[in-house]
């Protein structure tokens, strides 16, 4: 099965022959090699590049072990260049080569070589190495499959795809297995034997049990604010282990450098400043997170929050966790301080969105909870709630039930919203833009947006596929 990674392929196409080193990064097994050696190579061949002008070297393979020596690798590449035509170097897992930055800089001086490299460790993109490239390194970050990519390759309906994605995540290999046990064993094995092993060996760690337990704690608390001090106290009180703050902080950095997790800063929206304590942590793939916990903690709210966070990164946004402080008088007339949280403060250039992730919005209490933070933000940037619009129960009901039964299942909506959602379900419109549906309904774009709203506050609406995500 060939999984399309069109957005990443387009990024490579527009960077072709730009005189810079194209550096493809991301967690191991997320599809970097497939993108480079299959999809991009296919594009080069279809564009008229001769096969002997494509130089492929996978440094993580035993067959290329001697090429991990920088001088031998450089000499090997030079010997492959036999004429003045353009050559394309595809170099996989470059971090296996010592002094690779020297090799790459030397290759930049050869005018008819266009260089593409992959790596699974963010250390090789440190500021020092970027300086060594003299501004001629061009990074393309690859992530596990987004839900849209996963669904496009999934053999089944939308609801089943979403349930599968929430459990097993988006590593491409997962789609190759038809048996759930195979998926679970694959994820658990590569977590221990690939990812953790890489972190241990790369950083020369002696106490593997410490980082194993740390990973378990972080996996159990995705989306929950914490810090090394809290984690250290947990180790001491629950496990009787002395695990210093500094060591924990270093180990978290190692996991971030291996692209296993991301740490997210907390941002005071009113004060316009970052709050140093209590960061949040998310896994680069929810399937890996679930496998680490033996699929015991399947909290859909937290898992969906992790998925939305990854989706925002994939779409190129800068993401923080938001905090809104509110001062109000209590029943005794004393001024008290309350702190509300916004799941994500999302920035891209001059654009900004405030996003709440809500798996379930059927109760008034839940709606109030999600909107309270928004109502206390003193600016006009758009406030967004991302939610699961379709449940499998509602979807199945819509296919075989009378209208009154469907209406009953959507009782939390008003009449117009019920009618609109029933229309979407009957048309099987799982992903859409307001413009598309407005044409189908013969109404304005604004009307469609309003129909998706759960409140009359025009700043609070559900964002569609063209902007963020629709599930």
Position 455 pLDDT exceeds 50: no
- Which of 96, 115, 141 is the C-terminal boundary of a domain? 141
Share of residues in the chain with pLDDT > 90 (%): 46
Residues 228 and 281 placed together within one structural domain of the fold: yes
Tell me whether residue 92 is in a domain.
yes
Distance from C-alpha of 234 to C-alpha of 240, rounded to nearest angstrom: 9
What is the per-residue pLDDT for 411? 54
* Residue 270, C-beta contacts closer than 8 angstroms, at least 6 positions apart: 324, 325, 377, 378
Residues 39 and 86 placed together within one structural domain of the fold: yes
Place of tokens 């450089």: 74
Least confident of 165-174, 254-263, 291-300, 423-432: 423-432
| Residue 236 belongs to domain with CATH number | 1.10.10
What is the per-residue pLDDT for 447? 73
Distance from C-alpha of 73 to C-alpha of 75, rounded to nearest angstrom: 5
Count other C-beta atoms under 10 Å from residue 101's C-beta. 20
**What is the average per-residue pLDDT within 64-93?**
95
Distance from C-alpha of 131 to C-alpha of 129, rounded to nearest angstrom: 5
Q: What is the mean pLDDT of the chain?
A: 83
Residues 190 and 232 placed together within one structural domain of the fold: yes
Residues 122 and 174 placed together within one structural domain of the fold: no
Q: pLDDT band at residue 89, thresholds of 50, 70 and 90?
A: very high
Distance from C-alpha of 316 to C-alpha of 351, rounded to nearest angstrom: 12
Tell me whether residue 10 is in a domain.
yes
* Residue 429, C-beta contacts closer than 8 angstroms, at least 6 positions apart: 437
Q: pLDDT band at residue 461, thresholds of 50, 70 and 90?
A: very low
Tell me whether residue 339 is in a domain.
no
What is the per-residue pLDDT for 43? 97
Tell me whether residue 340 is in a domain.
no
**What is the average per-residue pLDDT within 114-128?**
76
Distance from C-alpha of 55 to C-alpha of 3, rounded to nearest angstrom: 23
What is the per-residue pLDDT for 363? 63
Please tell me whether residue 172 adopts helix, strand or coil conformation. helix
What is the per-residue pLDDT for 448? 67
Q: 120-150: b or e for each residue (b if 16 or more CB lie within 10 Å)?
A: bbbebbeeeebeebeeebbebbbbbbbbebb
DSSP 5: -
Tell me whether residue 364 is in a domain.
no
Tell me whether residue 335 is in a domain.
no
| Residue 110 belongs to domain with CATH number | 3.40.50.300
Q: Tell me the range of 77-91, 191-205, 348-362, 376-390 where mean pLDDT is highest.
A: 77-91
Distance from C-alpha of 440 to C-alpha of 437, rounded to nearest angstrom: 5
Least confident of 102-111, 117-126, 202-211, 282-291: 117-126
Residues 286 and 165 placed together within one structural domain of the fold: yes
Residues 136 and 154 placed together within one structural domain of the fold: no
Residues 244 and 167 placed together within one structural domain of the fold: yes
**What is the average per-residue pLDDT within 180-195?**
95
* Residue 56, C-beta contacts closer than 8 angstroms, at least 6 positions apart: 37, 41, 90, 92
8 A C-beta contact, residue 34 and residue 172 = yes
Least confident of 97-101, 109-113, 290-294, 389-393: 389-393
Residues 227 and 185 placed together within one structural domain of the fold: yes
Distance from C-alpha of 307 to C-alpha of 300, rounded to nearest angstrom: 10
8 A C-beta contact, residue 215 and residue 255 = yes
Least confident of 140-149, 379-388, 440-449: 440-449
What is the per-residue pLDDT for 150? 93
Domains held by the chain: number: 2
Q: 184-197: b or e for each residue (b if 16 or more CB lie within 10 Å)?
A: bebbbebbeeebbe
Containing structural domain, residue 123: 6-141
Q: pLDDT band at residue 470, thresholds of 50, 70 and 90?
A: very low
Tell me whether residue 382 is in a domain.
no
8 A C-beta contact, residue 96 and residue 68 = yes
The backbone torsions φ and ψ at residue 112, rounded to the nearest 5 degrees and listed phi first, read -105, 25
DSSP codes joined into one string, 288-348? HHHHHTTT----HHHHHHHHHHHHHHHTT-EEEEEEEEEEEE-TTS-EEEEEEEEEEEEEE
Residues 169 and 295 placed together within one structural domain of the fold: yes
Place of tokens 């189908």: 440
Residues 187 and 276 placed together within one structural domain of the fold: yes
What is the per-residue pLDDT for 395? 47
Distance from C-alpha of 424 to C-alpha of 427, rounded to nearest angstrom: 5
Least confident of 211-220, 285-294, 318-327, 444-453: 444-453
Do the strands 261-268 and 273-283 form a parallel or antiparallel pair, or are they unpaired? antiparallel
Residues 173 and 308 placed together within one structural domain of the fold: yes
- Which of 86, 108, 141 is the C-terminal boundary of a domain? 141
**What is the average per-residue pLDDT within 173-192?**
95
- Which of 84, 107, 141 is the C-terminal boundary of a domain? 141
Place of tokens 């980082």: 211
Residues 92 and 208 placed together within one structural domain of the fold: no
What is the per-residue pLDDT for 458? 28
Position 32 pLDDT exceeds 60: yes
**What is the average per-residue pLDDT within 264-282?**
88
pLDDT in tens, 220-259: 999 899 989 999 988 888 777 788 899 999 999 999 989 9
Distance from C-alpha of 205 to C-alpha of 257, rounded to nearest angstrom: 15
What is the per-residue pLDDT for 20? 92
Tell me whether residue 468 is in a domain.
no
């Amino acid at each position: 099965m060939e999984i399309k990674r069109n957005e990443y392929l387009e990024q490579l196409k527009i960077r072709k022959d730009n005189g810079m080193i194209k550096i493809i990064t991301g967690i191991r097994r997320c599809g970097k090699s497939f993108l480079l050696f299959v999809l991009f190579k296919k594009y080069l061949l279809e564009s008229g590049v001769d096969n002997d002008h494509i130089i492929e070297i996978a440094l993580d393979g035993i067959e290329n072990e001697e090429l991990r020596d920088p001088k031998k690798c450089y000499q090997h590449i030079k010997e492959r260049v036999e004429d003045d035509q353009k050559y394309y170097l595809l170099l996989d897992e470059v971090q296996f080569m010592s002094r690779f930055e020297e090799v790459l800089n030397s290759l930049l001086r050869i005018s008819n070589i266009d260089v593409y490299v992959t790596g699974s460790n963010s250390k090789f993109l440190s500021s020092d190495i970027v300086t060594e490239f003299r501004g001629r390194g061009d990074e393309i970050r690859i992530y596990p499959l987004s839900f849209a990519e996963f669904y496009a390759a999934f053999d089944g309906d939308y609801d089943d795809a979403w349930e599968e994605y929430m459990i097993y995540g988006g590593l491409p290999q997962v789609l190759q297995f038809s048996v759930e046990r195979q998926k679970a064993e694959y994820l658990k094995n590569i977590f221990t034997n690939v990812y953790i092993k890489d972190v241990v060996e790369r950083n020369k760690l002696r106490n593997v049990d410490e980082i194993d337990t740390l990973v378990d704690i972080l996996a159990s608390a995705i989306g929950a604010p914490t810090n090394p001090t809290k984690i250290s106290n947990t180790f001491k009180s629950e496990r009787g282990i002395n695990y210093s703050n500094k060591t924990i902080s270093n180990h978290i950095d190692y996991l971030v450098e291996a692209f296993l997790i991301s740490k997210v800063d907390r941002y005071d929206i009113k004060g316009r400043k970052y709050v140093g304590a209590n960061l949040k942590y998310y896994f680069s793939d929810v399937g890996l997170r679930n496998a680490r916990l033996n699929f015991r903690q399947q909290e859909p709210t937290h898992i969906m929050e992790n998925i939305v966070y990854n989706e925002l990164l994939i779409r190129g946004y800068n993401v923080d966790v938001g905090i809104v402080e509110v001062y109000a008088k209590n029943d005794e007339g004393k001024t008290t301080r309350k702190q509300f949280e916004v799941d994500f403060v999302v920035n891209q250039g001059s654009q900004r969105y405030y996003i709440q992730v809500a798996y379930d919005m059927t109760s008034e209490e839940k709606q109030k909870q999600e909107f309270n933070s928004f109502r206390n933000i003193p600016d006009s940037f758009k406030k967004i709630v991302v939610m699961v619009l379709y449940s499998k129960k509602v979807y199945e009901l819509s296919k075989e039930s009378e209208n009154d039964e469907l209406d009953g299942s959507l009782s939390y909506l008003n009449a117009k919203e019920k009618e609109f959602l029933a229309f979407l379900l009957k048309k099987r419109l799982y992903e859409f833009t307001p413009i598309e549906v407005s044409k189908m309904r013969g109404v304005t774009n604004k009307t469609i947006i309003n129909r998706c709203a759960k409140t009359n506050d025009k700043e609070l609406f559900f964002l569609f596929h063209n902007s963020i995500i629709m599930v």
